[in-house]
Amino acid sequence: MAGQANTSRVHLWFAGPAILLMFVILIVPIFIAAGLSFTNYSLGNSGAQFVGLENYERIFTRSTYEKMFIATFTYVGVVVPLTVGLGLGAALLINSVTRFGDLYKTIYFLPVMAALLAMAIVWEFALHPTIGIVNATLTRGCGTFLEGWAWYAQGCERTFPLWLTDRDYAIWTVAFIGVWQGFGFNMVLYLAGLTSIPRELYHAAEMDGAKSGWERFRLVTWPMLGPTTVFVVTISCIRSFQVFDTVEAFYPQGGGPGKSVFVMMFAIYEKAIQQNLMGIGAAITVVFLAFVMALTLVQRWLVERRVHYS
Amino acid sequence: MTDAAMTSQPVVSDQKGARSDSSSMSWSSREALKHAVLIVGAIIVLLPFYVMVSYSFKGPSEIMQQTGGFFGSQELFRDDFCVKLGN
């Protein structure tokens, strides 16, 4: 019995350091942030007053934070479907070509490996209204059939958009860069998922009458990619909620034109670090954490209950 | 997206004939279409890298005036501020 008791305590010594570290590094800061979110604490002040739900009330009532939610959800709403769709499309195409597949994989994965902050500066050059390659290329298309497109004709007549400084285009441009940077990662995950689909399933589907490629995709490929898709969507959502580098590189003074790119991560940085309003910064952090937690819980629920076919 | 792409199966030689019989597009046309789509994607992905490498070869005036092609004129860069300081 004594031996058993000793054995049962041994696992605590193995798991203890990891649990302690996880508690100190992950759990305690969450509780500290939650505690700070109910105060008006700022760095340098010795004391902090309890303000109750005032910080949360500000977040959900003031127009600045309304813009923050709009910008964040627009970004997530654009980037997640496009990165997932393009990642899947690229994976399917690359997996089906007989030559140069590895070359395409390498090219599409390049933006994932590149530092986004550095690439944001390059994009700033490329999207510059006068010296940028994007508007220069668009201008070369003037006088061709492209002018049949009203938007294009208007650009040729006046000027092409100020991609980063026009409030109507800024969030979409930042989202495009997010898609450019993110879909290669999803492509790799989908490629891994595709290799795990047994070939026999395609043969069986074909014998059961699934003749067209679309039918095989709908009946075999897509269901078998269920767990991969759930993981990809969750990771893409979390990464999209965490967008900061591009916004900070393009708009270091805050939030883009008319706060149209005032995403949550940048709001946390601006409030807590630049303006030293730790209370409101902590409150935004808690709201951000709630979104990420909800996404993770939905993913776990889907993975465990809905999407397993094997 | 083409049949083979939808099923993600690499098109092997024994599938070629059967697919091309049932499809209006020949195997090579489908393969070419897939490569065309992938190449367009690759160009968009590589655009900022092209800009980055090209600008690294050019002087400030060439970047501002969009001249000099990809490599620029390769003139030695003269920083007037450093020259004034005697460096």
Stretch 61-80 of chain B: residues touching chain A, C-beta under 8 Å:
63-64, 66
Tell me how far CA of residue B29 lies from CA of A285, B2, B36, in angstroms.
52, 10, 10
| Nearest chain B CA: its distance from A159 CA (Å) | 17
Residue A39 forms beta bridges with which residues?
A: A50
Half-sphere exposure of A221 (CA within 13 A, CB side): 27
Chain A with chain B: Cβ pairs closer than 8 A: 104
Give the pLDDT of residue B9.
54
* Contact criterion met (CB < 8 Å) for B1 and A89: yes
Stretch 31-50 of chain B: residues touching chain A, C-beta under 8 Å:
31, 34-35, 37-38, 41-42, 44-50
pLDDT digits (tens, 9 = 90+) for A39-73: 998 888 777 889 989 999 999 999 989 999 999 99
Q: Does B22 touch chain A (CB under 8 A)?
A: yes
The predicted model gives A204-217 an average pLDDT of: 88
Residue A200 has pLDDT above 60, yes or no: yes
Residues of B in contact with A211 (CB under 8 A): 22
Q: Does B7 touch chain A (CB under 8 A)?
A: yes
Q: Which has the closest alpha carbon to A266: A294, A247, A288, A291?
A: A247
On the 0-12 / 13-18 / 19+ scale of CB atoms within 10 A, A156 is middle
What the block records as the tokens of A188 is 């790799």
Which residues are within 8 A (CB) of B19 and not within 5 positions of it... i.e. 6 or more apart? B3, B4, B11, B27, B30
Task: Please tell me the least confidently modeled range out of A94-98, A187-191, A282-286, B58-62.
Answer: B58-62
Pseudo-torsion of CA A297, A299, A303, A304, nearest 10°? 10
Give the pLDDT of residue B14.
43
The residue among A115 and B65 whose pLDDT is bigger is A115
The predicted model gives A244-265 an average pLDDT of: 89
Partner residue opposite A93 with nearest CB, options B5, B46, B63: B5
Instruction: Return the residue matching tokens 């969750």.
Output: A234
What the block records as the tokens of B53 is 């490498």
Tell me how far CA of residue A41 lies from CA of A12, A34, A64, in angstroms.
38, 12, 21
Give the pLDDT of residue B6.
58
Measured distance CA(A229)–CA(A216) in Å, rounded: 17
Residues of A in contact with B41 (CB under 8 A): 86, 90, 104, 108
* Contact criterion met (CB < 8 Å) for B64 and A131: yes
pLDDT digits (tens, 9 = 90+) for B45-57: 999 999 899 988 8
DSSP letter for A146, please. Answer: G
Give the pLDDT of residue A80.
94
Residues of A in contact with B52 (CB under 8 A): 119, 122
Could you tell me how far CA A176 lies from the centroid of its own chain?
12
Q: Label residue B76 by pLDDT band (50, 70, 90).
A: confident
Contact predicate A36/A257, CB 8 Å: no
The predicted model gives A6-24 an average pLDDT of: 86
Instruction: Return the residue matching tokens 């979390």.
Output: A238
Residue B1 has pLDDT above 60, yes or no: no
**Entry pTM:** 0.84
Task: Please tell me the least confidently modeled range out of A9-13, A14-18, A73-77, A101-105.
Answer: A9-13
pLDDT mean across residues, chain A: 89
Question: Residues of chain A with pLDDT > 90: what percent?
Answer: 57
Give the pLDDT of residue B20.
43
* Contact criterion met (CB < 8 Å) for B38 and A93: yes
ipTM score for this prediction: 0.80
Residues of B in contact with A94 (CB under 8 A): 38
Give the residue from B8, B9, B52 with the most A CB atoms within 10 Å of its CB, the best one to mutate.
B8
SS3 of residue A272 by DSSP:
helix
Residue A77 has pLDDT above 80, yes or no: yes
Residue B18 has pLDDT above 50, yes or no: no
Q: Which has the closest alpha carbon to A137: B55, B51, B73?
A: B51
* Contact criterion met (CB < 8 Å) for A213 and B1: yes
Residue A108 has pLDDT above 80, yes or no: yes
pLDDT digits (tens, 9 = 90+) for A114-125: 988 889 999 999
Residue A264 has pLDDT above 60, yes or no: yes
> Which chain A residue is nearest to residue B41, measuring alpha carbons?
A108
Question: Residues of chain B with pLDDT > 90: what percent?
Answer: 23
Residues of B in contact with A122 (CB under 8 A): 48-49, 51-52
The predicted model gives A23-47 an average pLDDT of: 90
